[in-house]
Amino acid sequence: MNNTIFDVTQYQEANRRIVDSIKATHRWDTDEGFIADGVIYPEKYAKQSFRIACILAESYGYDECHVTSIELQGERDILGLTNASVKAPRNLATFLWLLRSSFRQGSKIEWDDFPSLFTINPDNTARLQSALAEVAWINVKKASRREGTKMDPEEVRIHARRNEHVIREQIAVVAPHLLILCGETVFGTLKELTILPADVSYGQKWIVQPVDNGPRAVEVTHPRNWWGYEKLYCNFENVYNQLAEQGVAPNA
């Protein structure tokens, strides 16, 4: 397990450098606006004994919005939890709610206690916001994509190479115990760039892979494709049980 301490002050200093570095290589003030991603609530993240970082391909809708801090999520819902047409953030936040709530109570959330979090209402949004408050959220491709367009895997890979040093520094400074890698493009690109350790293997979807020196890693399918409560709960239960077998849950 990664035993590195997350320090809020060090993170904030590093994050300023990271944002400046991204701005230096992007048309951030015209058509390559981006979400300055990372930790949504640094003080809450610092209190987690088991830190999770979610790695995704890209954001949407901020291509002309200059720089938008992910720390605004609590005020403006920049990730789209309350937008019915946006599936990935809500699905992933639901998965995170199950994990974080299970860690907090010291045992797995049972199926009968799983609320209908896909329904958009204030109570559910508050639950999902609380889950996001405890994790890091990092996009491989920093330039946000225009809403209504589809991900281009090769474009994501090109941008990942451009941002390699930024991604390395982001993962290092958020000091996660678990990386949730969303989709084959994200996993394959970070593996190709050796950002993932050599002992993290291909073809292990939904398998929590411990490594000798660094955070555990689990490759998951893209959250936009997680259809239905039963499938999502099954995937959560699978990951939670593996973490329990590896000695990091419950009581994580």
Tens of pLDDT, residue by residue over 128-169, are: 999 999 999 999 999 999 988 889 999 999 999 999 999 999
CA atoms of 73 and 62, how far apart (whole Å): 14
Residue 15 tokens, joined: 């994050």
pLDDT band at 251 (very low <50, low <70, confident <90, very high): low
CA atoms of 180 and 226, how far apart (whole Å): 15
CA atoms of 133 and 127, how far apart (whole Å): 10
Contact between 8 and 220 under an 8 Å Cβ cutoff? The reply is: no
Rg (CA), the chain: 17
Residue 116 tokens, joined: 């209908």
CA atoms of 247 and 16, how far apart (whole Å): 35
pLDDT band at 1 (very low <50, low <70, confident <90, very high): very low
Global pTM value: 0.95
- Look at residue 3 and tell me whether its pLDDT is greater than 60: no
Q: Does the domain spanning 8-245 belong to CATH 3.20.20.30? A: no
Tens of pLDDT, residue by residue over 38-74, are: 999 999 999 999 999 999 999 999 999 999 999 999 8
Tens of pLDDT, residue by residue over 210-235, are: 988 889 999 999 998 888 999 999 99
